[in-house]
Amino acid sequence: MQEQILILDFGSQFTQLIARRLRELNVYCEIHPYTKVPKITPDIKGVILSGSPHSVREENPPQPNLSEIKGKLPLLGVCFGAQYLAHFFGGEVGKSNSREYGRAHLEIKDKNSKLFNDVADDSVVWMSHADTILKIPSNYKVTASTHDVKIAAYDIEGEETSCIQFHPEVYHTKEGAKILKNFVYGICKCKGDWTPASFIETTISDLKTQLGDEKVILGLSGGVDSSVAAMILHKAIGKNLHCIFVDNGLLRKNEFETVLESYKHMGLNVKGVNAKDKFYAELNGVSDPEKKRKAIGKVFIDVFDEESKLVTNAQWLAQGTIYPDVIESVSVKGPSATIKSHHNVGGLPDYMKLKIVEPLRSLFKDEVRRVGKELGLDENILNRHPFPGPGLAIRILGEITPEKIRVIQEVDYIFIEGLKSHNLYKEVWQAGAIFLPIQSVGVMGDERTYESVVALRAVSSTDGMTADWCHLPYEFLAKISNEIINKVKGVNRVVYDISSKPPATIEWE
Ligand code: XMP
C-alpha cells in the first residue's frame, strides 16, 4: 500500500508547489479539487487544505466536505485553509488592515506544537493574504505570531489539526520544508516510501499486469518524458514495446542520428523514420506560426499512423503525460489560459482505436528526471534543455526553406556546443538560435555583404511559465558571435535577446 497525503486544492497558484515539496520528502501525494473530495481510504495518512484566491467572506465561498477528515485524520490548513477552519468553526476572519504580504518573522508561541518542532524562533516566513484571522474558537490555541499577525498559526486541541496563515511551500519560507516534514513525518507518521526505486518497482509490476502480452506503440521525441516512459515500459514488456522516432527535419543538427543511436544503445525496440520531405512539403509557403504547428501536427499523425499500422495487433498507445498535465485537466480554475493548446502535439485520431497507457502520469518533471537517472537513462538525454515539438519551425520567422534550416542548425550547434564546452549548459534552462526575417549590411574583407541576422536566446526558468534571460559572460558571447559569423555562410550579424517572460515569451515564433 502506497501511503499518501491528500491535498485539497482551493485554486492557489502554489498548490502544485506543496505537492512538489512533499514528493521531495519522499512522500507521495495527490491534488484533488475541493469540490471532489475522494473517498478516504487507509492509505491516506493526512490532508492539506491549500491556499486560495477566494475569501471565506465572499458570498459563495469554497466549502469542502470535511466530514470524513476533520478530527479524524491529521489536517494541515495553509493560508485560506487556515482561515476556512477558523471562520466556519466559530472564529472570525476579516479584512486585513496591516501588511500581510511578503517576508515576516515567526515568533513561536507554543514550543510544544509538533508542527514547529526544531523550527527556529524568528525564522523568515512568506505571507500572501488580504484577509486575516481575527478570532479563533476556544478550543484553538495560537502556536505562532508575527509582528503584524497575531494568529499566524494555531492548533486545534483534541485533534491533529494545525494551521498556518503563511506559505511553507515557497522558497522564501526558510524553514518551510522542515514544517512540512514535521507534518508528514511527525504528525502523519509517514514512512517516506516514495522514491524513484519504489516507483519503478511498482510501476513495472503494474504495467506487466495491465498490458500482459499485448503490444504497445510509443512515439519518441528525444525529450526526457517520452524517453523515460519508453525505458520503464521496456523494462516491463521488452520487445512488445514498439517505439517510433520520426525525423521531421526540424530537429537540431545531428540530433536524429545521435538520439536514435542512444535509444538503440539503451536496448529499445525503436524504428527511426525519415519523414523530412513530407514535413517540408506541407510547410512550404507557410509563415504563420499557428499554421506551421497545425501542418506539423497533421503530418506527424499521418506518418505515425502509417508506421503504427506496420505493427500488427498493437492494442495500446503509450504517452509521456506527466502530473502537471493531469492536474491541469481537473483544476479548480479549469484549464489554465497560460498553457497553449498546441503544447502536446500528437492527439491521435479516434479511428486508431488504441487504449492509452501513461506510466508517468503521477510524476512531476523533476521526478521524471530522478526516475530516468535511476533507470540509467543516457546523460545526454536526461539533462538536455526542453525543445519545442514543432522544433526549428517556430525558430525560423517567416517561411521555412531547407537553406534557412541549414543556417539555423549550424548557428544553434555552435551556440549549444559552446555552452557545453564553457560549462554553461547546465546553468541555462533553455537555449537556442532564431533565424530573423531580415537582412542587414555588413563588411567582410573588402566587400559589402547583405545577409541574415540571427538571434541567440538563453533563459533561466523552472517550468517555462516565467523566465529571465541569462546573463552569459560577455567574453563567451563575443567568442560565439565571432565563430558564427566566421563559420556560418549567410549570417553577418548576431544579436542576443535580453527580454524576460513575461512580457516576452521564450520562443520568438
Ligand atoms: P513560450 O514561447 O510560450 O514557451 O514562452 C514556453 C515553453 O514551451 C515551449 N514551446 C512549445 N513546446 N510545442 C511544444 O512542445 C509547442 O508548440 C511549443 N511552443 C513553445 C518552449 O520551447 C518553452 O520551453
For ligand 1, say whether the CB of 389 is within 6 Å of any of its atoms: yes
For ligand 1, say whether the CB of 507 is within 6 Å of any of its atoms: yes
Asked, for residue 323, whether it belongs to a domain, the answer is yes
Residues 14, 167: contact at Cβ < 8 Å? yes
For ligand 1, say whether the CB of 462 is within 6 Å of any of its atoms: no
For ligand 1, say whether the CB of 289 is within 6 Å of any of its atoms: no
> What pTM value is reported for the model?
0.87
For ligand 1, atom 9, which residue shows the shortest CA distance?
Answer: 388
| pLDDT of 99 | 63
Active site residue 167: yes
For ligand 1, say whether the CB of 388 is within 6 Å of any of its atoms: yes
Structural domain ending residue among the three candidates 187, 204, 228: 187
pLDDT tens readout for residues 357-413: 999 999 999 999 999 999 999 888 999 999 999 999 999 999 999 999 999 999 999
Residues 301, 348: contact at Cβ < 8 Å? yes
More confidently predicted of 336 and 292: 292
Active site residue 190: no
Q: Domain check: are 143 and 20 in the same one?
A: yes
Sheet holding 215-220, edge to edge: 270-274, 241-247, 215-220, 314-318, 355-357
Q: Domain check: are 127 and 201 in the same one?
A: no
Q: Give 506 Cα–ligand 1 centroid separation in angstroms.
A: 7
Q: Give 213 Cα–ligand 1 centroid separation in angstroms.
A: 37
Measured CA to CA, the distance from residue 425 to residue 33 in angstroms comes to: 38
pLDDT of residue 335 exceeding 60: no
Active site residue 79: yes
Q: Strands 468-469 and 447-460, how do they pair?
A: antiparallel
pLDDT tens readout for residues 137-193: 999 999 999 999 999 999 999 999 999 999 999 989 999 999 999 999 999 999 999
Q: Domain check: are 66 and 86 in the same one?
A: yes
Domain that holds residue 446: 401-496
pLDDT band at 347 (very low <50, low <70, confident <90, very high): low
Asked, for residue 509, whether it belongs to a domain, the answer is no
pLDDT of residue 20 exceeding 90: yes
Asked, for residue 70, whether it belongs to a domain, the answer is yes
pLDDT of residue 336 exceeding 60: no
Residue 508 Cα: closest atom of ligand 1: 2
Q: Give 388 Cα–ligand 1 centroid separation in angstroms.
A: 5
Cell of 108: 513561536
Q: Domain check: are 427 and 356 in the same one?
A: no
Structural domain ending residue among the three candidates 382, 417, 452: 382
CA dihedral over 288, 289, 294, 299, signed as positive or negative: positive
Q: Domain check: are 137 and 242 in the same one?
A: no
pLDDT band at 58 (very low <50, low <70, confident <90, very high): very high
Buried b (16+ CB within 10 A) or exposed e, 446-455: eeebebbbbb
Q: Give 391 Cα–ligand 1 centroid separation in angstroms.
A: 9
Q: Domain check: are 38 and 55 in the same one?
A: yes
Asked, for residue 321, whether it belongs to a domain, the answer is yes
Residues 450, 441: contact at Cβ < 8 Å? yes
| pLDDT of 130 | 87
For ligand 1, atom 6, which residue shows the shortest CA distance?
Answer: 464
Number of domains the chain is built from:
3
Q: Domain check: are 356 and 488 in the same one?
A: no
For ligand 1, say whether the CB of 320 is within 6 Å of any of its atoms: no
